[in-house]
């Protein structure tokens, strides 16, 4: 398929076929293009797998606006998923004829070339905000000079239940004002993924004109806080602010994992200086399996996450992964990490019976 690169793009370095090696997802104007890491440096390292055209927003027409992708295990089934917002028209349903739409599905589904399903976004009176004045499909370009114009969701578990929630810019249909909002990942038996997103307007009440927000662990305690940029006055005046996560779920455990390459970023010769512990490895997959109590028994929970998968426009991802374990016991049955290797085989490693000494534990994993 002939295609041009989308701007802003949403390209990603992520294991699409679950073989342990990170593949490449390229976003064009018409479709997602999937490139497989075949690991053969001599002949070809990446081979084109297939292209998957963007879905239809209404029954007859394809989506005019396709937002950026975000990768997480949204339904905690141990398989990585992808989600992206989309709109039938540039005004994203201002007249109320269309609800905010998020397409979501397992990466396996994308790999097989199947179109994602819509998941419900329960956000009465709100729509996605697209600060663009171009009608060129999938190209969100604004001449208003606002650098934060993209339709970009970011994932993080704000309420510590393990299910990744979203931060995304939305607009009140009543006032026309746009601000960042939190969409909570909630159960929904009517959707194939079993999940829906529920707007939490009270969290951001009174925080108007916010143009960008990201999850960030300000206190290094495993709880995801929020950093936010607000527009102040006309033009390009911005200020940065922070929200502290006050979720009081004291029995919730966390695992914070960072996968490092072991490659020094400056002098590693030792001596009197402290030796740096390495640099972030992008595109790696981290998974765990554990038991979570339900009524009188336990249920098995599996989840996966990927570290720094995107170079996308303002993707602003954390260099580590935080797994919210909810009301779980203080151990993981197993944690496993897959690291892309130049050979055809990925480097995988598993740690059985990971015991979390404190409520919030950080694990540094070094691959050489």
Where do contacts with Ca ion occur on this chain (CB under 5 A)? Answer: 15, 17, 19, 21, 23, 73, 75, 77, 79, 81, 157, 159, 161, 163, 165, 185
Q: Under 8 Å CB-to-CB from 229, ≥6 apart: which residues?
A: 148, 210, 211, 212, 213, 238, 239, 240, 241
Alpha-carbon torsion (193, 199, 322, 367), positive or negative: positive
State the CB neighbour count (10 A cutoff) for residue 187: 10
State the CB neighbour count (10 A cutoff) for residue 8: 21
Nearer to Ca ion, 131 or 165 (CB): 165
> At its nearest, how many Å lie between Ca ion and the CB of residue 357?
24
State the CB neighbour count (10 A cutoff) for residue 85: 29
Strand bridging mode 12-14 / 23-27: antiparallel
List, in sequence order, every residue forming a beta bridge with 358; answer none if it has no partner.
none
> At its nearest, how many Å lie between Ca ion and the CB of residue 159?
5
Nearer to Ca ion, 159 or 317 (CB): 159
Q: Cβ(41)–Cβ(28) under 8 Å?
A: no
> At its nearest, how many Å lie between Ca ion and the CB of residue 21?
4
Nearer to Ca ion, 23 or 217 (CB): 23
> At its nearest, how many Å lie between Ca ion and the CB of residue 44?
14
Nearer to Ca ion, 93 or 283 (CB): 283
Nearer to Ca ion, 195 or 230 (CB): 195
> At its nearest, how many Å lie between Ca ion and the CB of residue 184?
6
SS (H, E, C) 339-365: ECCCCCCCEEEEEEEEECCCCEEEEEE
Nearer to Ca ion, 89 or 307 (CB): 307
> At its nearest, how many Å lie between Ca ion and the CB of residue 93?
25
């Amino acid at each position: 398929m002939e295609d041009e690169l989308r701007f802003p793009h949403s390209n990603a370095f992520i294991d699409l076929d679950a073989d342990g090696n990170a593949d490449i997802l390229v976003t064009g104007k018409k479709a997602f293009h999937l490139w497989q890491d075949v690991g053969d440096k001599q002949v070809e390292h990446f081979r084109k797998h297939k292209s998957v055209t963007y879905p239809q927003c209404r029954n007859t027409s394809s989506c005019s606006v396709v937002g950026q992708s975000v990768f997480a295990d949204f339904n905690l089934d141990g398989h990585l998923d992808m989600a992206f917002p989309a709109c039938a028209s540039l005004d994203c349903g201002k007249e109320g004829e269309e609800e905010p739409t998020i397409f979501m599905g397992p990466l396996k589904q994308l790999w097989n070339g199947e179109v994602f399903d819509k998941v419900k976004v329960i956000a009465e009176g709100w729509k996605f905000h697209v600060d663009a004045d171009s009608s060129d499909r999938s190209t969100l370009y604004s001449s208003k000079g606002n650098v934060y114009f993209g339709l970009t969701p970011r994932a993080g578990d704000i309420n510590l239940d393990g299910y990744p929630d979203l931060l995304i810019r939305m607009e009140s249909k009543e006032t026309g004002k746009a601000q960042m909002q939190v969409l909570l990942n909630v159960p929904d038996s009517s959707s194939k993924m079993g999940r829906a997103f529920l707007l939490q307007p009270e969290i951001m009440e009174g925080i108007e004109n916010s143009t960008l927000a990201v999850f960030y662990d300000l206190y290094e305690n495993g709880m995801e806080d929020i950093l936010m940029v607000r527009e102040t006055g006309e033009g390009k005046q911005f200020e940065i602010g922070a929200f502290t996560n006050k979720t009081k779920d004291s029995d919730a455990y966390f695992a914070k994992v960072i996968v490092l390459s072991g490659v020094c970023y400056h002098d590693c010769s030792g001596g009197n200086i402290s030796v740096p512990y390495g640099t972030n490895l992008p595109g790696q997959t981290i998974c765990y399996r554990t038991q979570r109590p339900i009524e009188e028994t336990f249920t098995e929970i599996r989840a996966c996450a990927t570290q720094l998968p995107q170079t996308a426009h303002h993707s602003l991802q954390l260099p580590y992964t935080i797994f919210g374990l909810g009301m779980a016991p203080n151990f993981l049955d197993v944690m496993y990490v897959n690291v892309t290797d130049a050979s055809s085989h990925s480097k995988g490693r598993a740690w059985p019976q990971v015991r979390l000494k404190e409520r919030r534990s950080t694990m540094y994993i070094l691959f050489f």
